[in-house]
Amino acid sequence: MVQEIEKLRISLSRRMSKEAILTFAETVNGCDCDKILTLIAEDDKELSGNAAYVLLCAQKSLQNYLLQHTEFIMKIVQLTPFEKSRRLLLSLLEKLPPDSTNINVKFLDYCIDGILSAKTPSAIKVSCMKLAFRQCVAYKELLAELKMVLD
């Protein structure tokens, strides 16, 4: 297993074209997904971004697996220093079906902080708005609070 992770690490740590990412994503299965998911938390900017991009491109075939790891992905979004990885992982979370019964309060706070921060890039702000709304929509009080933030 360690050899397999190293092979993935080597493959994903170089600069890759969109076509190469799409080709790579077509070959990903549930077994690879565990390994790729660990790579999104790496300190290597290229590796982390490529791993996130592969998961985003493969999300339709891996949706059930990724749904089980939503909390981990949310945690990495909050911790990663790389904007590319953050943007791709937020896009991945947007594409997954929402779970309106469970709210991740830390992630909701992260989204609201991202909306309010002048330093947050526009694409990340928009994703934060969408994800915050999806978490708040089932709760009138939270929705009212989000509306105040957006006004």
Q: How do residues 49-95 score in pLDDT, each as one tens digit?
A: 999 999 999 888 888 889 999 999 999 999 999 999 999 999 999 99
What's the pLDDT at 39?
93
- pLDDT band per the 50, 70, 90 thresholds, residue 17: very high
- pLDDT band per the 50, 70, 90 thresholds, residue 3: confident
Checking if the pLDDT of 29 tops 90, the result is: no
How much is the pTM? 0.91
What's the pLDDT at 27?
85
Q: Point out the least confidently predicted range of 16-30, 37-51, 73-87.
A: 16-30
In angstroms, the CA 105 to CA 132 distance is 10
Where in 1-146 does DSSP place strands (E)?
A: none
Checking if the pLDDT of 42 tops 80, the result is: yes
Cβ atoms of residues 37 and 55 within 8 Å: yes
In angstroms, the CA 33 to CA 137 distance is 30
